[in-house]
Amino acid sequence: MTQVQTFLVGKGFSSRVFYWLIRSLIKLFCRIYFRLRVYGRENLPQSGAFILAPIHRSNVDTPIVSVVTNQRLRFMGKDSLWKIKPIGAVLSALGGFPVTRGTADLEALKRCLAVLSLGEPLVMFPEGTRQSGPKIHPLFDGAAYLAIKAGVPIVPVGFGGTEGVMPKGSKKILPRRCSVVVGKAIFPPSSDAGRLPRTATTDMTAELSRALQVVFDQAKLKVGQTI
């Protein structure tokens, strides 16, 4: 096991119990406060690593996405949060791992690959920062690059209603009805020659963008149907 992998392992059984406890509380809160419904769980891989790629419209997207699966999900966080040891311990137990913003993109990718090599699901918001509006914004290539590099699928996730719960710039969490739609997994291309064309990452990102628009539209429609 590499040094990076050792750092990401966490604290074993106790950290997983803590994660499941917090996730259960989040799940209960989402069901009551947001009347949250999740569709398409059958599209999630039953085992092994994968990249969960949600749209990003609200600060509540991160806790809501944890409700999608019983597996512990891994998230990136800015490394300064880990400088306070109690906070860092809690974040690690909740599946977080630190990356240095700005100058450490390569290190972030290494840690993401380490997570996937350990067989754990990784959450990446391919739009990057929070966005607004009904259309998917241009995606970063990171999710596709990692999927190809690690040989794992990407699972697109759409949210309906979260933008109204906590819009960009808002500090209030409003009781709005929400839904989540999990799309079918997108598998990385393979090559008999052992080498993929340079366009493979770009093509997979484009496929992910189309899939995200579909699940985003479906999630918004589901919210309307449950009113």
Q: Where are the domains of the chain?
A: 3-225
Residue type, 207: E
- State the CATH class of domain 3-225: alpha beta
Q: Shortest CA distance to 183 belongs to which of 39, 22, 65?
A: 39
pTM for this entry? 0.88
Short-list 70, 60, 61, CA closest to 24: 70
> Could you state, in chain order, the average pLDDT of each consecutive group of 10 residues for the chain (227 residues)?
47 76 93 96 94 93 91 84 79 78 69 91 91 93 94 97 84 92 95 77 97 97 76
pLDDT of residue 146: 95
Contacts of 150 (CB under 8 A, 6+ apart): 49, 113, 116, 117
- Strand pairing report for 96-99 and 75-78: parallel
The separation between CA 28 and the C-alpha centre of its own chain, rounded to angstroms, equals 20
Give Cα 216 to chain centroid, integer Å.
Answer: 15
